Amino acid sequence: MPAISPTRFPAIQFAPAILFLSQSADVVTRSLQGESISLDEARPLRDDVSTDEITPLPILTHYDDKLGRYPYIGFRAGDDATPIGTDAIRTSGVEVVVSGKRYGKGSSREHSPAAEKLAGVRLVIAESFERIYRQNADNIGLFTSTDFSLVERIQAGEAIPLADLVAGRDALAAAILRNGGLLRFGQQHMRDITVAPEVADTRPRTLFEKIVARHALATDLTEAHPAPGDGAFVRADWRFIHEYYTGMAAHMLHTTFGRPLVLYEPGSIIVFEDHTSYVEESPAHVRGGLVPNVHRMVEAQREFAAAYALRSHRTLSEAEAASDDGSNVAGISHAMVAEHYALPGQVVVGTDSHTPHSGALGCVAFGVGTTDMANAFVTGAVRLTVPQSLRIVLEGRVPAGVTAKDIVLHLLSQPIIRSGGGVGKVFEFCGEGIAALSTDERATLTNMTAELGGFTGIVAPDAETVRFLRERRGIDFALEPWMHSDEGAEYAEILRIDCAGVPPMVARPGDPGNGLPLAEVQAPVRIDIAYGGSCTAGKREDFDHYHAVLRWAADRGLRVAPHVELFLQFGTTAVRDHCISQGYMDAFDKVGARMLQPSCGACGNCGPGGSTNGDQVTVSAINRNFPGRGGPGQVWLASPPTVAASAIAGELVSFETLQQRQA
């Protein structure tokens, strides 16, 4: 589609056929068939449509026009029906899609809006959007709106003025849409970028605001010192990308700017392979014949990294691990960034929704899509809409047996979060509970701001941060006086959590927000698979938790229940080496766990630990359990000790309950 400008396209005519993503599979099918359905008929609409449903992970092996064949093939309605098949959108002629709350939640994959647009979709209307999805849509010129009055107007054949389509958006977002996307916008408006000069600001500010102010950029359309709600650009200290995005980014950059590219400060770009170590054991990829696509995707990344001499961390296969002399430093991208690169006060951006992992160190870390990263490669500038902040005060001390994963599942179950109160906001974690948590545990909280719907999570650096940097990275870091939020800083809301009252938690299948205390699960939940790993739960301290349970079990002659498979996957090679040096592998071996080398693995449905049929039940320490995320079966989320205890018991239990049964 050509670039849209207000002079050439003062109003846009959409096809009157509208796809309603309803809770009723029948409504979805009828609207795909071109039947005229009213908004009232279509209600209730599906909330929480995730990017895993719009473009399931195996589809991410495509990064060209083929994506247009696949939007919504993972979408579920009614009794778990999947009413939208391959090529259904292209053949339907649908140009407008309507959905409910928190549309596009989950992954930062730009493949989702790209697949929609390539299939012919020009406008998505929803009650609310997740921040990364909407920004990705802007960047490729796909319109999004929360104005449901547009539905009737479009069905009546009215041409919609461009001003109505961008109503309520910040000036930068509107300008990007008017130019047809971010790269075209950049060609027009980002030739001259300057770092904003320091200005005296005596008002109380959050740590997030201070860091953004130190990294803000001035362009001809953005303010040098943006306020909440403003569109802005910042200079990132670190930019990182992984193999599911690099091929797409390289393709769009070379198409737009030709070869060779001139990259901005290539020394601050890091390239990771972290999703594809075990793709040959991924049922979804094998069954779909997609393994060759994955290999081509990986090779495209390696070629790009070699062509521009970029710092690269390559995947570690089982065979390579067996002969590894310790020189191969590998792992999940955002965990690796916290282990090796990020520092307090910096800005870190990556092509993964869990980039906020590094916020545990006191930096501003957030996920972006492919076009944002491609633009950042050549300009050094990263787009954001400056968010408001939520202050999350963790009061009291965390009880024994309760982990940061339990705290975040408890937080996810709070009404304010379930109603979307955290969408697009900064989660600033503080209080007595935070002070007592290690950096690994803090990273669980900041990492899962993606599930909370937030822009990022951040913890002010303190003595624990200094300890972590010294012991893990050999850095003697000196905290600076400004590295904290000021008394009187403005917050959208302050939410207090009584840590002493947080029990071991789980989240029912379907959404991380389906949290409840484990003790309140009424009937026994028999499990088939237990998985411990991922960025959220593959850190050193997570493995300390797995080991505490499994050492206790091994010492009593207990093994993983006969009908259960237990997978433990290291987040990074440093975590693996920690487990070896601490002697953990003996207990893991004795109980019958399968150990996996660092990779995202089952968390992204691309490795061992995922289900293979709909009858299987998994208990997992990963961060999200959207439909189809871990295979066709049901996934319960839980903390590392609960995952390990459940593997031994053969059903969902806490470590305390397991101990009581054996007493």
Domain boundaries, the chain: 11-186, 190-502, 505-662
pTM for this predicted structure: 0.87
Predicted confidence band of residue 195 (pLDDT cuts 50, 70, 90): low
Other beta carbons within 10 Å of 359:
31
The single residue listed with the structure tokens 């990020």 is: 342
In angstroms, the CA 293 to CA 316 distance is: 19
Task: Give helix 540-555 / helix 573-581 axis angle, nearest 10°.
Answer: 40
pLDDT of 460 reads 98
Intrachain domains 190-502 and 505-662 with the same fold: yes
347 forms bridges with which residues in the sheet? Answer: 364
More confident residue, 454 or 276: 454
More confident residue, 279 or 85: 85
What average pLDDT does the structure give for the chain? 91
CB 16 within 8 A of CB 155: yes
pLDDT of 604 reads 75
CB 432 within 8 A of CB 394: yes
CB 270 within 8 A of CB 242: no
Could you tell me which of 330, 350, 349 has the C-alpha nearest to residue 340?
Answer: 330
More confident residue, 253 or 8: 253
Mean pLDDT, rounded, for 510-532: 94
The CATH number fitting domain 11-186, selected from 3.40.190.10, 3.20.19.10, 3.30.70.20, 3.40.50.300: 3.20.19.10
Task: Report which residue type is found at 536.
Answer: T
Q: Which backbone phi and psi does 250 adopt, to 5 degrees?
A: -65, -40
pLDDT of 278 reads 84
* First-to-last C-alpha distance (Å) of the chain: 68
pLDDT of 327 reads 63
CATH code of 505-662, in short, is 3.30.499.10
Q: H or E stretch including 366? A: strand 364-367
Mean pLDDT, rounded, for 584-591: 98
Q: H or E stretch including 349? A: strand 347-350
Question: Residue 599 pLDDT > 80, yes or no?
Answer: yes
Mean pLDDT, rounded, for 146-164: 96
Q: What is the DSSP letter of 81?
A: B
pLDDT of 316 reads 67
Question: Residue 191 pLDDT > 70, yes or no?
Answer: no
pLDDT of 320 reads 64
The CATH number fitting domain 190-502, selected from 3.40.50.300, 3.20.20.150, 3.40.1440.10, 3.30.499.10: 3.30.499.10
pLDDT of 1 reads 33
Task: Find the length of the chain.
Answer: 663
Query: HSE-up of 489 (CA within 13 Å, CB side)?
Result: 19
DSSP secondary structure string for all residues of 60-76: GG--SGGGGG-TTTT--
More confident residue, 143 or 228: 143
For 28-86, the pLDDT digits (tens) are 999 999 999 999 999 999 999 999 899 987 788 777 788 999 999 999 998 888 999 99
User: Which of 240-244, 247-251, 355-359 shows the highest mean pLDDT?
Assistant: 355-359
The dihedral over CA atoms of 418, 423, 429, 433, expressed in degrees to the nearest 10, equals 10
Q: What percent of the chain has pLDDT over 90?
A: 71
Query: What order of strands is seen across the sheet that includes strand 194-195?
Result: 194-195, 216-218, 231-235, 381-385
Which of 128-137, 175-184, 195-204, 566-575 has the weakest average pLDDT?
A: 195-204
Which of 13-27, 329-343, 543-557, 623-637 has the weakest average pLDDT?
A: 623-637
Predicted confidence band of residue 2 (pLDDT cuts 50, 70, 90): very low
Which of 82-96, 322-336, 338-352 has the weakest average pLDDT?
A: 322-336
Mean pLDDT, rounded, for 169-186: 88
pLDDT of 3 reads 39
Mean pLDDT, rounded, for 578-583: 96
Question: Residue 265 pLDDT > 70, yes or no?
Answer: yes
Mean pLDDT, rounded, for 414-429: 92
For 360-409, the pLDDT digits (tens) are 999 999 999 899 999 999 988 999 989 999 999 999 999 999 999 999 99
pLDDT of 4 reads 41
